[in-house]
């Protein structure tokens, strides 16, 4: 066998030493703790391609791999290994130029010799080469070697001959050549993932994730691939397109009806064009009549205008006179009212009593003087005491006079303002009355022309209401329709005969198809049964965690021949039974029975039997699926014949339906025309009558509105008068209040003066009383003097009022009679002027009435004639919109008859246009509602091509719809069928890809299960540990747990039913919705062949009959004792290695650390397992057990400072060598020195 022969370390982690470790058999490296055993063992994983970072340990401040194993430029690690073509060496050294510490690799053909790795120094002594010197040194010796390999992935690809990694290499061609020359498998076999196995064995714990990576890579390399999900983002809306086509099929009858209606519309337009010619001739004659009547009408308008102008001037003069007389009347009335109010005011002030008192003033003054003399006589004795009080009284009196004078001046000013107030507001009211009359007259003149226009229009409407006749054109239309209906009926009968013949042929084809489909359905039912049996066996072989079946297998390996013969199979899947195993296998509810005579249930079979049955089920399912494919192929052939028959029948039925639709359309048209012709006369009369009624109501509304407007003017001016009077009343009230306030102030001033005088003389009385003067007599006299003086002063105050009153009597009241006469004169003038205005208005209205009557008659004839002309012009404009290619014949009849006929034709045309426009709009809406750019762009392209031909854009053309019927007919007859066929092909293509994707995933699901069986079998075959009866790898596929699996499976079921028949019709909505849902969710699926994400990994270890299920690294570490867990791990990796490297002729080396955790018996079994698998153990442990050491071919003792020493395995006592430090009998020692 070939493989790693020895490892040479030069100035590596054992500083300054060159050491050799032979590995051509099971090898042990003994030594104390910390002597470097583990450090050396880690180098084995490096040889197989492990990442340096996977073996280095920087915890606790330890160095990196390069700094520990290759600390200097003189440090070399040399692996000498054997291939079929001879020995090779792999050299690791510190990269000579890298900025950061990293290893470099280089291969060399040939064995290790000191000469190949040393040069002579200047003194002629041999020294080992540095890494950067190897290339030049080997060239000088003509050795074969490789380039420097700087990437560990490239090195791994070469040493393992990993074809996948070789293809990824930046120098793929050269790397493949190096793999042929230097790989362990001699360039023929591969050894992928062995570095991961070495690392796991070295670390004594399994990493399920790395194990999962290995298994996924195995499956991938052996052709298990996850198909790339079909990406069809452009078809995510395929369901919308199918729904649109389905709904558009429902719109097709309406669209075809629209196209037929468009043909009728073209016929109506042709008739209108013939009417256009006749109306154009009538237009000239009626235009002359309009000109003559227009001249007459203008003359009447001129005369009416002159009459109105004359009346306006006369009315303005009379109104001005009336306003003047009215103002004068109002002025005199106001003057008289003021005189009477002033008289009432004087009477209220008792002016006569005041005059009598004022005439008696001389007597009152004499009495006051007498009283004054008596008081002076009494005051002679107290003149000195009185003088100050007299002076105070004088000062107070002077103050009182000044204050009283100011208040009286204000009182007189307010009285004067009150006198002028009436004149001001009377003038304002006169202006308001004058403007009111002018506004009323202006409104009457403004509304009169509009009223006359409405009256004339009413007369013209009443004339039009009397005309209504039936035309010859209507009779001709009915005849043409009846002829068309008879022709269509004959065509329908002929089409029915052809259809019956096609249906008889289709029945025969349908019978053959039904028989083929029945065969397919029966076989598919059989296949479903086989799949159900297969699924049942899969559940028995791989029961769910927590089920009773799982517990039975784990706790009682002999359950098959015990309770397995009795238990109900359905109970085995239950998870709620809470099973507890007591080990009393022969007791069933207290009874002991002979179970050997009872046949076991299906579930109570060994794993081998279940696997065999499952394999048979898989073969039966595959055979049934193949047979189903053949049946489906035959069914598709029958379906093709059936589709052709259906297509023929459908085409004939469509043609028959089209003929029937056309016949029904003609029948409907005839009924419509008959109703229209029957209703046309009544409709014209009713329309004219309604117009007359509308005009009558309009005239009534006009009169009511005009009266309301006049009333509003009167109301507005009445409000203005009220406002003026209110303003006058407010101002008068203000002035009167101010006058009353001043009078109150005068009274208060008088009272204040009186109190002040009383206070002064009260003080004087007190002084006199103190001096013994008879003040009572003096006071009495003084009081009499005051009263007399007050009386004199009050009477003297009457002088102004009496003077005003006398002046008023002389200047104002004396003219009262004269004012009364003037008032009577003004009232007479107002009555006379008002009467004159009324007479003049009556004459004016009479003259105006004569002119208006003549004008209305002329206007009525003019309006009628002009309306007739306007209608002709309007009709000509409407008819003129249609293009005329050939001069048509003119229609016969009078102008009103032609107009009536044209109106009916245009009404018919508008109805037809509305139907056609609505139908085209619905069709366009149905087209644009598809949401599919291909469909809408096809329609848009057709429209743009027509726009290019016509030289204009439809968006600016109000008659855009006229151009669309030919396009629409082409669209439904050519474009839609082609789009339908393309969509069906798209559905077939996309559905086929989804189906292939589904079956690819399904095949991967089966493959995962198959690899679970195969690898578990390889592990079981390699396992030889008494306590471990069974170790299995369980790969649980997660494919059916994918988010999209249910929807994809649902789609595939629908797809198979539809695709096997190869329908030329659109699929069902369920299939389309399922496809859309599948496409939408698959669009979110990440691309890539990530197998590891699609299965779960668990281990089953049965130790002494106890089953342990391991789903994590922690479960594996604690599944059993440390030794058995390690043995189980070794068994698993032996099986995986056996599967990875089948038929290999190269020994593999496993680094095993701390071997003493396994008992001696199991160690022997482990060696047997390794030998059968061509695996050599390189063990490192501080053991001196001779029995254990004898199992190894090579023995070494390592010391971190002294190096590695070789022990002689032929000695009978290995322990003595260990005690002596590894000395041999002949005194030879392992070479540990290094030449400087």
pLDDT digits (tens, 9 = 90+) for 618-647: 778 778 877 877 877 777 777 777 767 777
- The CA–CA distances, whole Å, from 153 to 168, 175, 192, 240 equal 9, 11, 12, 50
Give me the DSSP letters along 1044-1076. Answer: THHHHHHHHHHHHHHHTTT-SSPPPHHHHHHHH
Structure confidence at residue 205 (pLDDT):
67
DSSP-assigned letter for residue 142 = T
Structure confidence at residue 888 (pLDDT):
61
- The CA–CA distances, whole Å, from 199 to 49, 62, 796, 821 equal 10, 19, 145, 145
Task: Say which range, 521-535, 908-922, 1056-1070, has the weakest mean pLDDT.
Answer: 1056-1070
Structure confidence at residue 930 (pLDDT):
61
Asked if the model's pLDDT at residue 111 lies above 80, the reply is yes
Q: Tens digit of pLDDT for each residue in 931-955?
A: 666 677 777 777 777 777 766 666 6
- The CA–CA distances, whole Å, from 115 to 112, 118, 508 equal 9, 5, 94
Contacting residues for 957 by C-beta, under 8 A, at least 6 apart:
963
DSSP-assigned letter for residue 62 = P
Structure confidence at residue 1063 (pLDDT):
57
- The CA–CA distances, whole Å, from 607 to 62, 581, 931 equal 49, 21, 57
Structure confidence at residue 956 (pLDDT):
65
Q: Tens digit of pLDDT for each residue in 344-396?
A: 777 776 777 777 877 877 787 888 888 878 777 766 666 667 778 778 888 88
Question: If you average pLDDT over each of 64-78, 93-107, 438-452, which comes out highest?
Answer: 64-78
CA separation for the pair 673, 670 (Å, rounded): 5
Q: Report, in angstroms and rounded to the nearest whole number, the Rg of the chain calculated over CA atoms.
A: 66
CA separation for the pair 608, 619 (Å, rounded): 17
At 20, list the tokens.
């050799």
CA separation for the pair 464, 692 (Å, rounded): 9
Question: If you average pLDDT over each of 151-155, 216-220, 677-681, 1032-1036, which comes out highest?
Answer: 151-155
CA separation for the pair 314, 316 (Å, rounded): 5
Structure confidence at residue 80 (pLDDT):
96
Structure confidence at residue 106 (pLDDT):
96
Structure confidence at residue 250 (pLDDT):
77
> In degrees to the nearest 10, what's the CA dihedral of 311, 317, 319, 325?
-150
Inter-helix orientation angle 238-348/816-879, to 10°? 170
Cα–chain-centroid distance for residue 973?
37
Q: Tens digit of pLDDT for each residue in 499-512?
A: 888 888 878 877 87
Q: Tens digit of pLDDT for each residue in 955-989?
A: 666 677 777 788 888 777 877 787 777 777 777 77
Asked if the model's pLDDT at residue 1233 lies above 60, the reply is no
Q: What percent of the chain has pLDDT over 90?
A: 6
Local confidence band at 904 (pLDDT 50, 70, 90 cut-offs): confident
SS3 1183: coil
| Alpha-carbon torsion (1143, 1146, 1147, 1150), positive or negative | negative
Question: If you average pLDDT over each of 146-150, 190-194, 461-465, 836-840, which comes out highest?
Answer: 146-150
pTM of the prediction?
0.47
Q: Are 252 and 972 in contact (CB under 8 A)?
A: yes
Between residues 569 and 912, the one the model is more confident about = 912
Residue 822: which of 427, 332, 492, 305 has the closest Cα? Answer: 332
SS3 478: helix
Q: Are 1214 and 1195 in contact (CB under 8 A)?
A: yes
Q: Are 754 and 790 in contact (CB under 8 A)?
A: no
- The CA–CA distances, whole Å, from 1059 to 463, 1066, 1072 equal 75, 11, 13
Asked if the model's pLDDT at residue 886 lies above 50, the reply is no
At 996, list the tokens.
């292939």
Q: Within 10 A of 1104 (CB to CB), how many other CB atoms are there?
A: 11
Contacting residues for 962 by C-beta, under 8 A, at least 6 apart:
none
Q: Tens digit of pLDDT for each residue in 258-296?
A: 888 888 888 787 777 777 878 888 888 888 888 888 888
Pairing state between β 1148-1153 and 1175-1180: parallel
For residue 53, the surrounding DSSP H or E stretch is helix 52-55
The whole-chain average pLDDT of the chain stands at 77
CA separation for the pair 912, 924 (Å, rounded): 18
- The CA–CA distances, whole Å, from 1183 to 34, 786, 793, 1193, 1203 equal 14, 157, 157, 16, 18
CA separation for the pair 766, 469 (Å, rounded): 127
At 703, list the tokens.
């009169």
Domains and CATH numbers, the chain: 3-14+34-196 (3.40.1140), 473-689 (no CATH)
Q: What percent of the chain has pLDDT over 70?
A: 82
Structure confidence at residue 772 (pLDDT):
66
Q: Tens digit of pLDDT for each residue in 984-1003?
A: 777 777 777 888 878 888 88
Our separate counts of H helices and E strands in the chain read: 29, 17
Structure confidence at residue 142 (pLDDT):
93
Structure confidence at residue 472 (pLDDT):
64
Local confidence band at 113 (pLDDT 50, 70, 90 cut-offs): very high
At 1192, list the tokens.
């190894």
Q: Are 920 and 961 in contact (CB under 8 A)?
A: yes
């Amino acid at each position: 066998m070939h493989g790693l022969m020895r490892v040479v370390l030069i100035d590596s982690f054992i500083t300054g030493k060159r050491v050799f470790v032979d590995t051509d058999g099971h090898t042990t490296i003994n030594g104390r703790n910390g002597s470097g055993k583990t450090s050396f063992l880690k180098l084995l994983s490096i040889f197989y391609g492990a990442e340096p970072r996977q073996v280095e340990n920087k915890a606790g401040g330890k160095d990196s791999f390069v700094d520990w194993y290759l600390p200097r430029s003189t440090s070399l690690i040399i692996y000498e290994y054997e291939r079929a073509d001879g020995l090779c060496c792999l050299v690791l050294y510190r990269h000579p130029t890298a900025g950061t510490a990293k290893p470099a690799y280089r291969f060399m053909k040939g064995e290790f010799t000191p000469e190949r790795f040393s040069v002579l120094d200047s003194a002629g002594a041999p020294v080992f080469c540095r890494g950067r010197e190897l290339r030049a040194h080997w060239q000088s010796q003509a050795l074969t070697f490789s380039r420097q390999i700087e990437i560990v992935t490239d090195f791994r690809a070469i040493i393992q001959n990993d074809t996948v990694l070789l293809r990824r290499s930046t120098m793929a061609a050269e790397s493949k050549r190096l793999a042929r020359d230097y790989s362990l498998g001699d360039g023929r076999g591969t050894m992928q993932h062995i570095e991961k196995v070495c690392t796991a064995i070295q670390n004594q714990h399994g990493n399920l994730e790395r194990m999962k990576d290995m298994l996924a890579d195995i499956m991938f390399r052996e052709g298990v691939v996850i198909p790339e999900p079909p990406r069809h983002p452009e078809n995510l809306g395929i369901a919308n397109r199918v729904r649109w086509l389905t709904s558009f099929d429902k719109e097709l009858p309406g669209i075809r009806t629209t196209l037929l209606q468009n043909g009728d519309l073209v016929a109506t337009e042709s008739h209108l064009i013939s009417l256009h010619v006749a109306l154009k001739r009538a237009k000239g004659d009626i235009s002359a009549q309009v000109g003559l009547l227009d001249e007459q009408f203008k003359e009447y308008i001129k005369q009416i205008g002159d009459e109105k102008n004359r009346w306006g001037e006369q009315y303005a003069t009379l109104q001005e006179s009336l306003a003047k007389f009215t103002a004068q009347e109002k002025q005199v009335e106001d003057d008289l009212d003021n005189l009477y109010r002033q008289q009432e005011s004087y009477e209220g002030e008792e002016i006569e009593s005041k005059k009598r008192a004022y005439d008696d003033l001389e007597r009152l003054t004499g009495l006051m003087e007498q009283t004054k003399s008596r008081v002076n006589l009494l005051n002679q004795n107290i003149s000195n005491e009185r003088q100050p009080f007299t002076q105070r009284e004088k000062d107070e009196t002077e103050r009182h006079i000044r204050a009283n004078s100011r208040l009286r001046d204000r009182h007189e000013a307010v009285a004067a303002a009150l006198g002028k107030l009436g004149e001001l507001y009377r003038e304002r009211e006169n202006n308001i009355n004058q403007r009111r009359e002018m506004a009323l007259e202006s409104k009457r003149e403004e509304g009169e022309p509009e009223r006359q226009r409405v009256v004339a229009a009413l007369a013209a409407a009443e004339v039009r209401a009397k005309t209504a006749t039936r035309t010859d054109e209507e009779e001709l239309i009915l005849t043409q329709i009846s002829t068309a209906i008879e022709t269509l009926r004959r065509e329908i009968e002929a089409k029915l005969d052809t259809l019956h013949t096609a249906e008889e042929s289709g029945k025969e084809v349908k019978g053959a198809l039904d028989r083929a489909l029945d065969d397919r359905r029966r076989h598919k039912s059989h296949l479903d049964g086989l799949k159900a049996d297969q699924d049942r066996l899969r559940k028995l072989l791989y029961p769910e965690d927590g089920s009773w079946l799982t517990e039975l297998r784990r706790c009682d390996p002999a359950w098959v021949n015990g309770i397995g013969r009795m238990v109900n199979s359905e109970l085995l899947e239950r998870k709620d039974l809470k099973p507890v195993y007591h080990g009393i296998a022969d007791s069933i509810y207290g009874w002991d029975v002979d179970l050997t005579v009872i046949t076991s249930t299906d579930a109570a079979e060994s794993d081998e039997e279940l696997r065999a049955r499952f394999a048979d089920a898989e073969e039966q399912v595959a055979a049934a699926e193949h047979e189903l494919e053949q049946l489906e192929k035959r069914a598709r052939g029958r379906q093709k014949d059936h589709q052709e028959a259906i297509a023929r029948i459908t085409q004939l039925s469509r043609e028959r339906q089209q003929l029937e639709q056309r016949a029904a359309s003609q029948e409907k048209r005839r009924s419509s025309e008959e109703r229209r012709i029957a209703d046309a006369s009544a409709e014209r009369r009713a329309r004219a009558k309604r117009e007359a009624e509308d005009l009558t109501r309009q005239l009534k509304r006009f009169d009511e509105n005009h009266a309301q407007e006049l009333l509003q003017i009167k109301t507005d001016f009445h409000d203005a008068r009220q406002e003026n009077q209110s303003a006058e009343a407010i101002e008068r009230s203000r002035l009167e209040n101010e006058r009353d306030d001043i009078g109150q102030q005068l009274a208060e001033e008088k009272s204040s003066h009186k109190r002040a005088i009383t206070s002064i003389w009260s003080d004087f009385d007190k002084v006199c009383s103190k001096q013994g003067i008879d003040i009572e007599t003096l006071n009495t006299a003084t009081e009499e003097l005051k009263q007399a003086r007050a009386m004199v002063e009050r009477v003297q105050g009457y002088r102004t009022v009496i003077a005003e009153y006398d002046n008023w009597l002389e200047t104002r009241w004396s003219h009262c009679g004269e004012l009364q006469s003037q008032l009577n004169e003004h009232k007479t003038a107002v009555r006379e002027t008002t009467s004159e205005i009324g007479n003049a208005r009556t004459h004016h209205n009479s003259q105006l009435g004569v002119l208006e009557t003549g004008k209305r008659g002329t206007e009525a004839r003019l309006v009628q004639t002009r309306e007739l002309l306007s209608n002709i012009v309007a009709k000509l404009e409407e008819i003129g919109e249609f293009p005329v290619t050939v001069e048509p014949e003119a229609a016969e009849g009078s102008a009103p008859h032609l107009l009536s006929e044209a109106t009916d034709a245009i009404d018919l045309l508008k109805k037809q246009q509305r139907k056609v426009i609505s139908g085209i709009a619905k069709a366009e809406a149905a087209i644009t509602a598809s949401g599919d750019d291909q469909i809408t762009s096809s329609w848009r392209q057709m429209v743009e091509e027509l726009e290019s031909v016509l030289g204009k854009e439809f968006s600016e053309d109000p008659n855009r719809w006229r151009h669309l019927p030919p396009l629409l007919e082409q669209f439904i007859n050519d474009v839609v069928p082609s789009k339908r066929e393309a969509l069906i092909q798209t559905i077939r293509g996309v559905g086929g890809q989804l189906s292939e994707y589904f079956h690819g995933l399904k095949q991967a699901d089966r493959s995962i299960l198959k690899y679970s069986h195969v690898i578990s079998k390889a592990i079981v075959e390699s396992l030889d540990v008494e306590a471990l009866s069974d170790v299995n790898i369980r790969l649980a596929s997660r494919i059916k747990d994918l988010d999209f699996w249910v929807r994809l499976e649902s789609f595939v079921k629908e797809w198979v039913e539809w695709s096997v028949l190869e329908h030329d019709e659109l699929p069902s909505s369920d299939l389309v919705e399922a496809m859309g849902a599948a496409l939408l969710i698959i669009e979110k699926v990440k691309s890539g062949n990530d197998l590891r994400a699609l299965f779960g990994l668990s281990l089953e270890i049965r130790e002494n009959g106890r089953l342990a299920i391991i789903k994590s690294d922690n479960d594996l570490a604690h599944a059993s004792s440390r030794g058995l867990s390690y043995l189980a791990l070794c068994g698993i990796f032996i099986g995986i290695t056996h599967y990875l490297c089948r038929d290999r002729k190269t020994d593999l080396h496993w680094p095993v650390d701390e071997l003493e955790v396994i008992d001696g018996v199991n160690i022997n079994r482990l060696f047997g397992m390794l030998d059968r698998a061509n695996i050599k153990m390189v063990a490192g442990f501080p053991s001196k057990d001779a029995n254990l050491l004898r199992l190894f071919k090579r023995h070494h003792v390592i010391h971190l400072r002294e190096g590695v020493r070789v022990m002689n395995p032929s000695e009978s006592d290995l322990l003595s060598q260990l005690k002596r430090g590894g000395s041999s009998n002949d005194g030879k020692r392992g070479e540990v020195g290094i030449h400087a």
